[in-house]
């Protein structure tokens, strides 16, 4: 149990760099299980979600060596991964596996190593009903069978099929990653249609290409995978930067009315968010573009002029869409931003059953909000926020927006039990303190 004591109302200054992504790291770790050689993954964030996945993989025989590297984005890791000759899922760490949604992405690789196996139901953020239909239907098109029982999934895959054309049941990033991983070791051509080309999907595509799997259509909604018989290569690969963390820091600058440079932003995955903010009145400058260490992802440093920005509500609702639309994980950040925008903002979080309900935690800080239904919330601004005490919501993004709002609120706040934040952000309090925040970590 860790709490944050936050003294709000302080303006921040200087520069802060984006860490690499949680979602990309989890996808790459799952994809590495296809490789019979040694996979070395660099720039893996040192977060609780990664810790849980490492615990799960070690429990089924995967050898993982961790090396911690200090940087200006916190303590990142290099993971060296060696898969076992013989897989044994009977001893899988049930507790750790059930705490992650990412456990689902193990299916795509394990169907090539184990004919019949069980996985506990996927966990992660508590945001209402989250089906696995896109995973189940897609993998079954490839010849697997997934039976859903009360507390576990039973997966059988005795004869996988090549030459399939799969239409995604829904535009799910993790399901697309699962199908990419599964298709990579099915010799022949597999076509995946209605695939969201989000950052973690593209990361896995480029990684698989480096392992010798040809993939056409990267960055589009139709991916063609030319699977191979075997993957056995010693490879070094770099995880790319997190556009969700970039949005976190942009929002922090807005809420604290700060001039702040956010470095290493995944620009192509922030364009819609920045456009919305531009029309809301945010002043910013995207500086020269450059590539991430993977040589593929386009980055830029973004200078936010929070002091001089006067925000106003958009006339249209703000909602997410599959990439290249506004990222569903970035949508919650518009809730605290809307409290500082003159007028009424309607946010429609259509994807998750109950996540918008967590946005109302901002009312404890003085936000003027009206929950219309489990998906829609109306926010009236501009509102001066004040410090208070809040128990952290059990979902990553809602938890972070409460913390950011506390940074912009006058007075002292206490955010209780911040495990949800630590699931996806490494050393966040310490990094924000380096640019002028005052957050005390209370263990």
Q: Grade residue 1 by pLDDT with cuts at 50, 70 and 90.
A: confident
Looking up tokens 């200078």 gives 303
Instruction: Say how far apart CA 96 and CA 109 lie, in whole Å.
Output: 19
Burial class (CB in 10 A: 0-12, 13-18, 19+), 380: middle
Q: Model's pTM, two decimal places? A: 0.94
**Residue 411 pLDDT exceeds 90:** yes
Number of H helices, E strands in the chain: 14, 23
Provide the 10 A C-beta neighbour count for residue 118: 16
Q: How many CB atoms lie within 10 A of CB 234?
A: 9
Q: What domains does the chain contain, in order, with CATH numbers?
A: 3-19+241-442 (3.65.10.10), 22-238 (3.65.10.10)
pLDDT at 232: 98
SS (H, E, C) 362-403: HHHHCCEEEEEECCEEEEEECCCCECCEEECCCCHHHHHHHH
With CA atoms as reference, report the closest residue to 432 among 20, 11, 25, 49.
11
Q: How far is CA 294 from CA 105, 312, 360, 374, 382, in A?
A: 22, 38, 39, 39, 41
Band (pLDDT 50/70/90 cuts) for residue 124 is very low
Rounded to an integer, what distance in angstroms lies between the CA atom of residue 92 and that of residue 393? 28
Confidence of residue 127 (pLDDT cuts 50, 70, 90): very low
Q: Which of 239, 248, 167 is nearest to 200 (CA)?
A: 239
Cis peptide before 443 (omega within 30 of 0): no
Query: Residue for token digits 């699962």?
Result: 178
Nearest residue to 357 (alpha-carbon basis) of 376, 383, 334: 376
CA atoms within 13 A on the CB side of 70: 2
Helix (H) or strand (E) holding 300: strand 298-305
Q: Which residues are bridge partners to 241 per DSSP?
A: 20
How many Å apart are CA 268 and CA 199, to the nearest integer?
A: 9
Percent of the chain, pLDDT > 90? 87
**pLDDT score recorded for residue 101:** 82
Backbone conformation region of residue 420, classed left if phi is above 0, alpha if psi is from -120 to 50, else beta: alpha
Give the range among 4-18, 145-159, 167-181, 377-391 with minimum mean pLDDT: 145-159
Question: Using alpha carbons only, how large is the chain's radius of gyration in Å?
Answer: 21
d(CA 28, CA 362): 34
SS (H, E, C) 10-29: CCCEEEEECCECHHHHHHHH
Determine which helix (DSSP H) or strand (DSSP E) holds 179, and give its type and residue range. Answer: helix 173-184
Q: Residue 2 pLDDT > 60, yes or no?
A: yes
């Amino acid at each position: 149990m860790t709490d944050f004591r936050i003294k709000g109302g302080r303006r921040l200054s200087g520069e802060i760099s984006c860490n690499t992504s949680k979602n990309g790291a989890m996808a790459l770790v799952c994809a590495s299980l296809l490789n019979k050689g040694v996979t070395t993954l660099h720039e893996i964030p040192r977060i609780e979600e990664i810790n849980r996945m490492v615990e799960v993989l070690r429990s089924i025989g995967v050898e993982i060596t961790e090396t911690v590297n200090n940087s200006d984005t916190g303590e990142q890791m290099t993971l060296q991964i060696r898969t076992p000759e013989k897989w044994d899922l009977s001893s899988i760490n049930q507790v750790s596996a059930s705490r992650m949604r990412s456990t689902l992405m193990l299916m795509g690789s394990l169907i090539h190593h184990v004919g019949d196996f069980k996985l506990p139901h996927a966990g992660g953020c508590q945001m209402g009903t989250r089906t696995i239909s896109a995973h189940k239907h897609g993998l079954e098109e490839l010849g697997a069978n997934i039976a859903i029982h009360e507390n576990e999934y039973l997966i059988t895959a005795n004869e996988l099929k090549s030459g399939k054309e799969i239409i995604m049941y829904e535009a799910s990033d993790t399901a697309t990653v699962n199908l990419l991983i599964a298709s990579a070791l099915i010799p022949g051509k597999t076509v995946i249609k209605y695939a969201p080309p989000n950052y973690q999907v593209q990361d896995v595509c480029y990684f698989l290409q480096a392992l010798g799997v040809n993939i056409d259509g990267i960055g589009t909604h139709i991916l063609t995978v030319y699977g191979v018989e075997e993957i056995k290569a010693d490879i070094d690969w770099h995880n790319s930067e997190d556009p969700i963390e970039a949005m976190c820091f942009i929002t922090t600058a807005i809420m604290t009315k700060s001039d702040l440079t956010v470095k290493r932003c995944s620009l192509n995955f922030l364009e819609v968010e920045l456009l919305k903010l531009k029309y809301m009145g945010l002043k910013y400058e995207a500086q020269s573009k450059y590539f991430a260490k993977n040589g593929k992802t386009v980055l830029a440093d973004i200078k936010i002029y929070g002091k001089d920005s006067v925000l106003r509500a958009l006339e249209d609702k703000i909602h997410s869409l599959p990439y290249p639309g506004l990222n569903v994980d970035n949508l919650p950040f518009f809730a605290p931003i809307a409290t500082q925008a003159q007028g009424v903002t309607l946010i429609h979080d259509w994807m998750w059953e109950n996540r918008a309900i967590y946005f109302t935690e901002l009312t404890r800080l003085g936000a003027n909000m009206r929950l219309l239904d489990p998906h829609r919330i109306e926010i009236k601004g501009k509102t001066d926020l004040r410090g208070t005490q809040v128990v952290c919501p059990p979902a990553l993004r809602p938890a972070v927006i409460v913390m950011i709002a506390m940074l912009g609120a006058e007075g002292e706040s206490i955010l209780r039990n911040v495990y949800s934040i630590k699931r996806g952000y490494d050393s966040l309090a310490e990094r924000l303190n380096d640019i002028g925040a005052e957050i005390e970590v209370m263990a």
